[in-house]
Amino acid sequence: MNAPIAPRTTESRSQRPHALITGGARRVGRAIALALAKAGCDVTITYATREADARETCDLARAIGQAHGVRAHAIHAPLGSQSDVERSINTIAASIGHAATGLDILIHNASTYEPTTIAALAAPDAAAIALRDYSVNALAPLLLSARLAPLLAKSTLPGGGSIVAMADLHSTGRPRKDHASYSMSKAALIEMVQCLARDLAPQIRVNAVAPGVVAWPDAGPESDPKAQAAYLSRVPLARAGTPADAAEVVRWLAMDAHYITGEVIRVDGGRWLA
């Protein structure tokens, strides 16, 4: 496990915003961390198992933000169970609260994703699968937002503090077959966004990004080229997006969209229309 984040100076606080990205070690999380670092933010990322990837992301963030003097740190914070959530939130809150830079941006990117057929949900261990999805995708974002809200409320960014949650296009009214557990947890995340947009206003804005495909899964049915082609046949732009496409929308919501809260922005190449 990484050592706690070292305190930083008040001077650095006056120069750079500070962003926390959960699940920031790779894929979309890494792209978000790099987009925010490029925009001049210090970044803290969390990871569950991929320590080497997390350290690489931090190195890349420092390099891309070198002109701004950006700092980057990683925290080991698994979220797969209630006990993991409670322990990790305590670790994150202690580290962030100890840093003199405060907190301006919170990105909920950590996520589980796998198909769950009806047969799988009827199995004796199905509750563990569903509870893991809910723990990572909904419970952790809710409790972490509540714990860090006092810091975010003190942000001096022009639009105030910002929370952005990574949702899913298919949890906004376009459900996919055999993804009930995952989709339910992401739908709960969207409801959290809309509730917190009211509860935390006016100091903190809360929004979500709902991608279609911006990074294909590494394994499983959707890693197959034929399955990918079938999905893309229903995307008007006829191609998958990229992690950078999603990351830029996250950066915009967090830093530039000063009068937007409670919204879910689809990044799907027009898939919603088809």
Domain containing 84: what range?
10-273
pLDDT in tens, the chain (274 residues): 333 333 333 334 447 999 999 999 999 999 999 999 999 999 999 999 999 999 999 999 999 999 999 999 999 999 999 999 999 999 999 888 765 568 999 999 999 998 899 999 999 999 999 999 999 999 999 999 999 999 999 999 999 999 999 999 999 988 889 999 999 999 999 999 999 999 999 999 999 999 999 988 887 788 889 999 999 999 999 999 999 999 999 999 999 999 999 999 999 999 999 8
Tell me whether residue 88 is in a domain.
yes
Residue 1 lies in a domain: no
DSSP type of residue 67 = G
Residue 3 lies in a domain: no
The predicted model scores a pTM of 0.92
Q: Is-contact 22 107, C-beta < 8 A?
A: yes
In a domain, 5, yes or no: no
Quote the number of domains for the chain.
1
Residues 28 and 243: beta-carbon distance below 8 Å: yes
Query: Considering only CA atoms, which of 166, 164, 168, 136 is closest in space to residue 49?
Result: 136
Q: Please state, in angstroms and rounded to a whole number, the distance separating the CA atoms of residues 273 and 75.
A: 39
| Phi, psi values for residue 61, rounded to 5° | -65, -40
Residue 50 to residue 74: CA distance in whole angstroms = 11
Q: What is the CATH number of the domain that holds 107?
A: 3.40.50.720
